[in-house]
Structure 1
């Protein structure tokens, strides 16, 4: 039975502090989703930079020529929402490593990354690994069909992969690639514009400490690590948007708000614009809306907090 089996998931209980972390990520995702279509050019540029940064960060961590993280990233873009399978996992590892795509067949004794003086013994071989991964993939699919939140199911899948150590080398790279793919496929497009790889590398010790402290009976340290990690991605996104609004070109703040207004099919409130652009001051938003009204782009109905704006 894997960590994603129904019986294991039913035993999960979240303390209030852990539950608040999950709720916070969901809230940030809601804000992010409302802003995703505001500037396609800006988001496309961020996505390109994200891939380049991810590839550079992973190459710096281990410069071995056997790994090609950029090639694996490019392969992800060709999958077109292909369902997770053992073959997909093997193919992805093959794209990542020159001699990849073959299940590990030997027992490993490896030093713990968070405590180098201690060792992990990973005994299973290829046949057992193949069966374990097949069961893990099946349980993951069933969990998602049963409505288990992607923010729970995906980190648990990654944890199980990291503990199984299915390949002789490149397991963490594979895990990050799968996390990228599955999160994006589940609607968390933040991983397309902000690379999670640099955040993981920046928190290496916490990554391995939470992994080693977690197991099927208590995965909370690992889940907590991932929810904090994803929250950091949203924070980086906001900082980059703020930087883009202030620095790049003439009228960038105005252009973003004009685009937002142009996409509104229904009446909207001043507060809706403020929520979509938390990095732009309320006074500046008010000034831009007044100019749009003067230019007969929008009209206002009502007064005070009950006022709504409509496109002309």
Structure 2
């Protein structure tokens, strides 16, 4: 894989990623309970967010949770079937030894994605496909042309071989190699459906393989879903000229490295908030005043502080509101809170 000169801003973000990676062992040793809670939440967030990017949404959150727990026997809709499929594919990568990376692995992941549906998974595309944008009036614009169906198997095998050779050579940062692999896989577009989900699930596995395990604790898919426009724009910008070997991979790699750096920042923030000394109320207060975004909801605090009840969070919020440190708009769980000051501790 050809990387070439790495732009300075990406070098800076890679440094942040490597610093974050270095802190993971410390948290594993000192805070195993917290990491277990974060892992459970990241699993749910990854499955639901990666599915949502493709328009796969189960409207009832409680039913979606039961599906992810494997407690629903009869899946009622295509969305429920595909949500369960992504659950199975991700759990396979996270809970089993999936090695080696091979065309067979990609086919198996695709088979898992669609095993609950009437669609036939586990096969490369049989017809040429296009990646298109659909406008509000129903018209379509071709975003890019993947490789022809008859050449798919060759391109997938070559891509995997080139990635393995580049990793063995050790001349480039592994995160850049993984990002490049994912970009090429999405351009090859080996399946009729499910390409994005296979690529995102595999991204987590390849990062963990190289020692970047943050995706176990912070959902990269959730970060991508929250910046969906930038996600698709970066892919689009890096596909122009791909078939002529003139594509610029840096827009995508810049986005990819940025998401990983953001994940480590979220991870360190949540870990720091949970390490703060004192009672649970002290931890909530410290998080709200020093780590939370200026505008937040109770659900954001709950995610950042696993093991702290909503009642405790509300109690601290009420005290801070009385002190004039926060204000609220709306009622109940959907209320939006805004930090206005940082009173003396």
Fold in common (TM above 0.5): yes
Q: Which of structures 1 and 2 has the bigger CA Rg? A: 1
Spell out the pairing of 1:42-191 with structure 2 (5 A cutoff). 42-60=34-52, 61-63=55-57, 64-67=79-82, 68-80=85-97, 82-98=99-115, 99-112=120-133, 118-122=141-145, 124-147=147-170, 148-191=172-215
Which whole-Å deviations, capped at 9, do the CAs of 1:165-204 have from their partners, x for residues lacking one? Answer: 1111111111110000010111011011111110111111
For 2:256 and 2:127, how far apart are their aligned partners in 1?
A: 30
| Shift, 1:22, TM fit | 1.9
From the superposition, tell whether residues 251 and 203 of structure 1 become closer, same or farther in structure 2 (CA, over 3 Å). Answer: closer
Within the alignment, does 1:39 sit opposite 2:31 as a pair? yes
Within the alignment, does 1:227 sit opposite 2:219 as a pair? no
For 1:41 and 1:139, how far apart are their aligned partners in 2?
A: 39
For 1:46 and 1:221, how far apart are their aligned partners in 2?
A: 30
Q: Conserved in 1, the CA contact under 8 Å of 2:146 and 2:188?
A: no
| Shift, 1:208, TM fit | 1.2
Q: Conserved in 2, the CA contact under 8 Å of 1:114 and 1:205?
A: no
From the superposition, tell whether residues 91 and 249 of structure 1 become closer, same or farther in structure 2 (CA, over 3 Å). Answer: farther
Within the alignment, does 1:16 sit opposite 2:29 as a pair? no
Query: How many matched pairs?
Result: 245
For 2:47 and 2:149, how far apart are their aligned partners in 1?
A: 29
Which structure has more RCO (C-alpha within 8 Å, separation ≥ 6)? 1
From the superposition, tell whether residues 208 and 114 of structure 1 become closer, same or farther in structure 2 (CA, over 3 Å). Answer: farther
Task: Specify which of 202, 207, 210 is matched with residue 231 of structure 2.
Answer: 207
- RMSD, aligned α-carbons: 2.7
For 1:48 and 1:142, how far apart are their aligned partners in 2?
A: 34
| Higher mean displacement: 130-139 or 16-25 | 16-25
SS of match in other structure, 2:29: coil
For 1:247 and 1:71, how far apart are their aligned partners in 2?
A: 39
For 1:127 and 1:79, how far apart are their aligned partners in 2?
A: 32
TM-score, normalised to structure 1, is 0.71
| Shift, 1:42, TM fit | 1.3
From the superposition, tell whether residues 248 and 240 of structure 1 become closer, same or farther in structure 2 (CA, over 3 Å). Answer: farther
